[in-house]
Amino acid sequence: MSEQIIWLTPSTPPDPAVLGGKGVGLVRLIGLEAPVPSAFVVTTGAYLDHIRRTGLDERIVAISSGAESVEEQARASQEIEELFLSTPLSPELADGLREAYGRYDDAPVAVRSSATAEDTAEASFAGQQESYLWVRGGDSVVEHVAKVWASLFTPQAIAYRVKNGVDVREVSMAVVVQEMVESSVAGVMLTLNPTTGDASEIYVEATYGLGLGLVSGEVTPDSFGVDRVTLGFRSRAVGSKEKAYRLDPEADEVVLRIVSDEDRAVACVTDDEALAIARMGKSVDERLGSRQDIEWALGPGEPGVRELFLLQTRPETVWSNRVATKRARGATPVDRILAMMQTPMRLHD
């Protein structure tokens, strides 16, 4: 049997079939010695072993293959989730998870899906797999791994597979368990401009608390366009940041809080912080040799002195996969000057 739990280190082979996309992204960041919270991965092998050993695979096929209507798909999804939650992990895996988690000394972790096909159509339909933040305790980690597995079978994912005749036994998933950063501010960045594809820009979005609301579209973040070469701002916009996912220390869980008017009116990161984030993005992009889509967080503390962490990176796909349209250009500078002179400037749209 292959390894079921792998700690991510610079020497971990970055195999998406074993670690899933997020796992590979983290290995790459760790390889660059980027500031990444430590993490281990429950491999795709562990998932496959689990569903085969317990017969879950056959039961999932039986439940989902006939689900044609939306109602049936919803029912199937729920039934499969209940199955995952009621089927115990093998003692080896469960003990292994408790032991691995034990190294965090009861600190909170994030338990996140790491699909093998994050950039494919399968992923974009089925890719709503869950992430659980602020998970504490070995038993809870074990339970959340099962929950993440179950999230492979959302109603939409079932619908997609039924329609396209995908055998669910071929679908697999890894789970990343990562030390939690109690972020005061978090966000994403793209190492190009998302609207124009301009590769000379690093585009950063930032919001208060954890980055959850940003991905789900619940908050309008602050945004910054930074020139990749000069590292000066191209644009700066303060977003409305209505809500923030924050830790409630009493309940020991993540809650959604309203952001005060005062905090909403100002950018949630300082200019220097925004530039430091962009610089980090530039460095990751250059060393990996491709445009990246990066999740980041700033730790607790006063603005300006907060520690920067990278939580995730993956290759940017929208612009990077686009075939560049070739521009017709004159052969000599004078030809090009003539072309330019004969392109009038429109004053009306």
Task: CB nearer to another protein: give 11 or 325.
Answer: 325
**Using the rule CB under 8 A, is 318 a contact of another protein?**
no
| Pair 4, 91: CB distance under 8 Å | no
SS3 sequence of 224-284? EEEECCCCCEEEEECCCCCEEEEEECCCCEEEEEECCHHHHHCCCCCHHHHHHHHHHHHHH
Task: CB nearer to another protein: give 85 or 237.
Answer: 237
- Point out which span in 23-31, 94-102, 158-166, 332-340 binds another protein (CB under 8 A): 332-340
- Point out which span in 108-116, 166-174, 309-317, 327-335 binds another protein (CB under 8 A): 327-335
**Sequence-ordered list of residues with C-beta below 8 angstroms from that of 323, at least 6 positions apart, any chain:** none
* DSSP for residue 199: T
Distance from C-alpha of 43 to C-alpha of 2, rounded to nearest angstrom:
9
Backbone φ/ψ region at 292: left (φ over 0), alpha (ψ -120 to 50), beta: beta
- Give me 88's structure tokens: 């115990």
**Using the rule CB under 8 A, is 345 a contact of another protein?**
yes
**Using the rule CB under 8 A, is 236 a contact of another protein?**
yes
Q: State the minimum distance, in angstroms, from the CB of residue 204 to another protein.
A: 13
Q: Which of 12, 113, 193, 312 is close enough to bind another protein by CB under 8 A?
A: 193
Task: CB nearer to another protein: give 120 or 235.
Answer: 235
**Hey, which residues between 238 and 277 contact another protein (CB under 8 A)?**
271
For CA atoms 39, 45, 48, 49, the dihedral sign is: negative
What track of x and - describes contact with another protein for positions 205 through 234 (by CB under 8 A)? --------------------x-xxxx-xxx
Q: How many CB atoms lie within 10 A of CB 62?
A: 10
**Using the rule CB under 8 A, is 57 a contact of another protein?**
no
| Residues touching another protein, count (CB under 8 A) | 36
Distance from C-alpha of 203 to C-alpha of 223, rounded to nearest angstrom:
7
Q: State the minimum distance, in angstroms, from the CB of residue 31 to another protein.
A: 22
What track of x and - describes contact with another protein for positions 277 through 306 (by CB under 8 A)? ------------------------------
Give me the residues paired with residue 225 across strands.
203, 235
Beta strand 308-315 with 292-298 is antiparallel
Task: CB nearer to another protein: give 69 or 230.
Answer: 230
Q: State the minimum distance, in angstroms, from the CB of residue 193 to another protein.
A: 6
Q: Which of 1, 251, 258, 340 is close enough to bind another protein by CB under 8 A?
A: 340
Distance from C-alpha of 221 to C-alpha of 233, rounded to nearest angstrom:
17
Closest-CA residue to 47 (of 35, 58, 56): 56
**Using the rule CB under 8 A, is 196 a contact of another protein?**
yes
Task: CB nearer to another protein: give 193 or 313.
Answer: 193
Q: Which of 216, 260, 321, 332 is close enough to bind another protein by CB under 8 A?
A: 332
- Give me 214's structure tokens: 């940003």
Residues that bind another protein in the complex, under the rule CB under 8 A: 193, 196, 198-201, 225, 227-230, 232-236, 271, 324, 327, 329, 332-338, 340-342, 344-349
